[in-house]
């Protein structure tokens, strides 16, 4: 007796199926480029408040899906909810980005909670429930967390950095303390992702936005090994877990990443050569990406050409269309619509 | 009748000679980590004033060579003297970085001078004369310019950016105007570098600090092709020219860069895998690099280990020891001394 489940194109890709029209979603698809998001944001006040009010977070998650008909919704949240749930003070200042009480030495790291305070994260799981109940059955719901290395760059510096120098410095000066921080983030991420699956997400993405600033040995130790451990443990606890890795700027280490980290898909940034990626990523790992957000911002024939090139490069294998990094706030919504028409064939020659 | 010239280890490496002890210099070796530089800076006032006062610029150039005995001096100057010499207003605000009147559209680009105003650059050539006459004969003198793409990121945005989004946007929205800007920078760089050689530099480095934010097609068009043209024309006009390219973040495109750009050495950033670089760079191109500036900042056994790894990786081929990016201002001078002792053998097992 086979039950018939509605097909979710996102999950088909993650399970290794080649599709003539690939599923598509965009990183940061809920955001300031949408008028309805800006209105929601004005109601919520602080950015973290928006993340921690389940109804508002669910609404932000659903807005872009409703407007554009993407194949997946990604939970509206932030990678810094984990430092918050580990007891670090996190605030978002308007136009300034995140500010944290820096965890820059062993004493500050030791003061973090030993385990995640899930009560702080309950609103996230509640938002997942709300989205799940409202989402059409053919759409995937994606949860996420930051990779330990990337989250650590914010925790150590107390803010966003260009190049993660404070974290790179601590990792060299006191690898025991820094390793302790990474271990806590690994443990927290495992629990957090499993709870997201329990709450109803179909897949998760692990964002390693700052992987590209590490040398090869540091990449192995602080990026690849911790993310591998997260994937192994999450999959052991939740066998249906599908995981997308996004090691931005991984460059020549792409093959090492996909060999060592048991992921279902790898998300590529826009700088990577597509034929290189085809060669390096085995067919049992789906590719996701990799439109330059600036190309989407500019639109027009440059956008058409690039969408076509991406499709030509990847549509004969398991593939998810996405950006190579987060959507830029000034992006016109018409360009997103144009991109979708082209991917879905109405505009294709 | 052979004349005996004093041997310059820097030029030996650039001419393809393998040396048991490689020559060494550091990017931004004159800078805020030196107390004598900070004293000089207080006398000079504005940063551009320091660049444009030949005696002070020469003194800044010589300070690190005097203190550490590096194998090369690099002219103390800035890549933004070229926009200045093309008529764009450039200022350095303390703690803020450079500020320029943005050349963000075709009208602003058309207002730039058609050719470099060499009178604005005479102080640079004069500084080269002064350094040359003071420099021991075994030391190389390195001039430099920014690569057109990297200089353009500042000119278009009017400031430093993370990722060069304004320039990437203009390049897509108005490739004709952006191409005009790049062409002017190519022409200006050729003249500027040839004049530097005429004034007495032994080699030049072309800094492409933002090469890594471009996709493969844009890298080809806005980085590789313009720098190739600069190298070809400079070498045609000054046959003894030696040129070092520094395409920071070039990653998987390293082999394309070294195949297409006629350089004598390629400078590697710290993220690149050293065995990958050995495979990709032919032996007739020297390798320069690639110590992580954070490792030099931290010092100790981490520094020793990394210096050793670099030497093991590259000392059997033409090689110049350097950092993988500019020295960090907080770097203790003792760490530079420790690094030099290890490279030069006193501390090597």
Going by pLDDT thresholds of 50, 70 and 90, the confidence category of residue A1 is very low
Of residues B95 and B247, which shows the higher confidence score? Answer: B247
B329/A contact by beta carbon, under 8 A? no
Residue holding tokens 């877990």? A241
> What mean pLDDT is predicted for residues A298-319?
97
| Interface check A212 vs B, CB under 8 A | yes
| For A250, nearest residue in chain B (alpha carbons) | B251
Q: What is the mean pLDDT of residues A329-346?
A: 96
Q: What is the arithmetic mean of pLDDT over A206-230?
A: 97
If you search the block for the tokens 């030049």, which residue do you land on?
Answer: B204
pTM assigned to the model: 0.96
pLDDT reported for residue A162: 84
For residue B72, give the 3-state DSSP assignment.
strand
The CA–CA distances, whole Å, from B257 to A200, B121, B160, B179 equal 47, 29, 24, 20
Q: What are phi and psi of B7, to 5 degrees?
A: -75, 135
Give the pLDDT score at B162. Answer: 84
What's the average model confidence in pLDDT over A139-165? 96
Does any domain span residue B96?
Answer: yes
The residue behind tokens 């490279």 is B343
Among A39-53, A124-138, B172-186, the range scoring the smallest mean pLDDT is: A39-53
Classify residue A6: in a domain, yes or no.
no
Classify residue B221 by its DSSP letter: I
DSSP label of A35 = H
- Cα separation, B132 vs B62, in Å, equals 10
Chain B positions touching A252 (Cβ under 8 A) are 251-252, 272-273, 276
- Chain A with chain B: Cβ pairs closer than 8 A: 70
Backbone φ, ψ for residue B78 (5° rounding):
-150, 150
Active site annotation includes B41 = yes
Q: Which chain B residue's Cα is nearest to A293? A: B165
- How far, in Å, are A208, A244, A277, B242 from residue A258 at the CA level? 14, 11, 11, 40
- DSSP lists the bridge partners of residue A74 as A142
Q: Which two tokens stand for residue A324?
A: 């190579």
Q: Is residue A227 a part of any domain in this protein?
A: yes
CATH number for the domain spanning B57: value is: 3.20.20.210
pLDDT at res. B349:
58
Q: What is the β-pairing status of strands A97-100 and A90-93?
A: antiparallel
- A37, A125, A154, A257: which is the annotated catalytic residue? A154
Helices (H), chain A: 9-14, 35-44, 47-52, 54-68, 81-85, 106-111, 118-134, 148-157, 165-173, 175-199, 216-218, 225-237, 254-260, 274-280, 293-298, 300-314, 333-343
* A197 inside domain: yes
The alpha carbon of residue A301 and the mean position of all alpha carbons in its chain are separated, in whole angstroms, by: 28
A271: chain B residues, CB-CB within 8 Å: 212-216, 249, 251
Q: Does A7 touch chain B (CB under 8 A)?
A: no
Span A242-267, pLDDT tens digits: 999 999 999 999 999 999 999 999 99
Predicted pLDDT of residue B94: 77
Average pLDDT over residues A69-97: 94
Mean pLDDT in residue range A332-341? 98
In total, how many domains does chain A have? Answer: 1
Average pLDDT taken over every residue of chain B: 95
Quick one: A240 exposed, middle or buried, by C-beta within 10 A (0-12, 13-18, 19+)? exposed
Q: What is the pLDDT of residue A4?
A: 66
Residues B210-228, mean pLDDT to the nearest whole number: 97
pLDDT at res. B1: 41
Whether A292 sits inside 8 A of B215 (CB atoms) is yes
- The SS3 of residue B45 is coil
User: pLDDT for A9-55, tens place per residue?
Assistant: 999 999 999 999 999 999 999 999 999 999 999 888 888 889 999 99
Interface contact A172-B252, CB threshold 8 A: no
Q: Do B297 and A212 touch (CB under 8 A)?
A: no
Residues 215-234 of chain A with CB under 8 A from chain B are 215-216
pLDDT value at position B3? Answer: 55
- CB of A292 within 8 Å of any CB in chain B? yes
Q: Which among A181, A176, A48 has a CA at the least distance from the CA of A102?
A: A181
Find, among A340, A330, A337, A339, the residue nearest to A28 by Cα. Answer: A330
Distance from A212 to chain B by nearest Cα, in Å? Answer: 7
Q: pLDDT at residue A348 above 80?
A: no
Chain B residues with CB inside 8 Å of A297's CB? 169
Answer whether B328 touches A (CB < 8 Å): yes
Is residue B31 over pLDDT 60?
yes
Residue A2 has pLDDT above 70, yes or no: no
Whether residue B349 lies inside any domain: the answer is no
Of A172, A273, A294, which is closest to B216 when you measure between CB atoms? A273
Q: How confident is the model at residue A235 (pLDDT cuts 50, 70, 90)?
A: very high
The pLDDT of residue A111 is above 50: yes
Distance of alpha carbon A262 from alpha carbon A274, whole angstroms: 21
How many Å apart are CA A343 and CA B6, to the nearest integer?
64
B278 noted as active-site residue: no
pLDDT reported for residue A131: 98
Check residue B4 and give its pLDDT. Answer: 66
Print burial letters for B226-235: b (CB count within 10 Å at least 16), e (below 16): bbbbbbebbb
Cis peptide before B69 (omega within 30 of 0): no
Q: Which residue in the set B251, B270, B294 is minimally distant from A251, CB to CB?
A: B251
Q: Give pLDDT, residue B2.
A: 46
Secondary structure letter of residue B30 according to DSSP: S
Count of CB atoms situated within 10 Å of the CB of A96: 10
Strand, coil or helix: B141? strand
Residues of B in contact with A272 (CB under 8 A): 216, 251-252
Q: Per-residue pLDDT averaged across A197-223, rounded?
A: 97
Q: What is the pLDDT of residue B83?
A: 98
Q: What is the pLDDT of residues A274-292, one digit of tens each?
A: 999 999 999 999 999 999 9
Residues in contact with B58: Cβ distance below 8 Å, sequence separation at least 6, in sequence order: B76, B127, B130, B131, B134
What is the domain extent for residue A137? 19-343
Average pLDDT, chain A: 95
**Of B28 and A44, the one with more pLDDT:** B28
Query: What is the complex's ipTM, to 2 decimals?
Result: 0.93
Distance, CA of A238 to CA of A255 (rounded, Å): 26
Lookup: tokens for A184: 């806590």
Does A77 fall in a domain? Answer: yes
Q: Does B284 touch chain A (CB under 8 A)?
A: no
Nearest to A298 among B173, B294, B298 (CB): B173
CB contact under 8 A, A162 and B165: no
Give mean pLDDT, residues B21-47. 93
pLDDT digits (tens, 9 = 90+) for B74-115: 999 999 999 999 999 999 887 788 999 999 999 999 999 999
Q: Is A330 on the interface with B (CB under 8 A)?
A: no
Q: Which of B154, B4, B144 is nearest to B61 (CA)?
A: B144
**Binning pLDDT at 50, 70 and 90, where does residue A349 land?**
low
Q: Is A92 on the interface with B (CB under 8 A)?
A: no
Return the pLDDT at A140.
98
Please indicate if any CB of chain B lies within 8 Å of the CB of A159. no
Q: Are B9 and B71 in contact (CB under 8 A)?
A: yes
Q: Which chain B residues contact residue A214 at CB under 8 A?
A: 271
End-to-end Cα distance, chain A = 42
Residues of A in contact with B162 (CB under 8 A): 162
Q: Do B252 and A253 touch (CB under 8 A)?
A: no
Cβ separation A252–B216 shorter than 8 A = no
Residue B111 among the catalytic residues: no
Q: Is residue B2 part of a domain?
A: no
| Residue A215 with chain B: CB contacts under 8 Å | 270-271, 292
Kindly determine whether residue A214 and residue B271, on different chains, have CB atoms separated by under 8 Å: yes
> What digits encode the pLDDT tens for the residues B151-178?
999 999 999 998 899 999 999 999 999 9
- Going by C-alpha positions, the residue among A66, A10, A58 that lies closest to residue A34 is A66
A67 touches chain B (CB under 8 A): no
Among residues A71, A78, A208, A292, which one is catalytic? A78
Percent of chain A with pLDDT over 90: 91
Residue A225 in tokens: 């090994």
Q: Tell me the residue length of chain B.
A: 349
Q: Is residue A250 part of a domain?
A: yes
CA B71 to chain centroid, in Å, comes to: 15
Per the CB < 8 Å rule, is A298 touching B272? no
What per-residue confidence (pLDDT) applies to A94? 77
Whether the Cβ atoms of residue A211 and residue A219 lie closer than 8 Å to each other: yes
Q: From CA A184, how far away is CA A117, in angstroms rounded? A: 12
Q: Is the pLDDT of residue A270 over 50?
A: yes
User: How many whole angstroms separate alpha carbon A125 and alpha carbon B240?
Assistant: 67
């Amino acid at each position: 007796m086979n039950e018939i489940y509605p097909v979710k194109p996102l999950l088909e890709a993650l399970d290794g199926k080649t599709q003539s029209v690939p599923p598509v979603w965009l990183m940061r698809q809920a955001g300031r480029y949408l008028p309805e998001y800006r209105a929601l944001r004005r109601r919520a006040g602080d950015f973290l408040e928006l993340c921690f009010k389940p109804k508002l977070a669910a609404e932000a998650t659903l807005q872009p899906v409703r407007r554009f008909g993407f194949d997946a919704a990604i939970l509206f949240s932030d990678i810094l909810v984990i430092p918050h749930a580990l007891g670090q003070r996190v605030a978002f200042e308007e136009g300034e980005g995140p500010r944290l009480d820096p965890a820059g030495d062993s004493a500050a790291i030791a003061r973090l909670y030993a385990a995640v305070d899930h009560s702080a994260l309950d609103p996230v799981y509640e938002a997942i429930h709300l989205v799940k109940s409202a989402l059409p059955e053919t759409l995937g719901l994606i949860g996420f967390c930051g990779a330990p290395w990337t989250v650590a760059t914010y925790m150590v510096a107390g803010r966003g950095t260009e190049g993660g120098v404070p974290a790179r410095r601590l990792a060299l000066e006191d690898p025991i303390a820094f390793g302790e921080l990474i271990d806590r983030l690994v443990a927290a991420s495992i629990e957090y992702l499993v709870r997201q699956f329990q709450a109803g997400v179909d897949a998760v993405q692990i964002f390693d936005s700052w992987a590209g600033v590490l040398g090869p040995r540091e990449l192995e130790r602080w990026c690849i090994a911790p993310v591998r451990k997260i994937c192994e443990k999450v999959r052991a606890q939740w066998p249906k877990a599908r995981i997308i890795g996004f090691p931005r700027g991984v460059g020549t280490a792409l093959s090492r990443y996909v060999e060592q980290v048991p992921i279902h898909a790898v998300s590529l940034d826009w700088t990577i050569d597509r034929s290189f990626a085809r060669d390096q990523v085995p067919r049992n790992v789906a590719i996701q990406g990799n439109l330059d957000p600036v190309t989407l911002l500019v639109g027009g024939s440059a956008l058409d050409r690039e969408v076509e090139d991406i499709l030509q490069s990847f549509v004969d294998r398991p593939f998810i269309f996405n950006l190579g990094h987060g959507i830029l706030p000034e992006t016109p919504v018409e360009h997103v619509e144009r991109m979708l028409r082209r991917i879905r064939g109405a505009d294709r020659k």
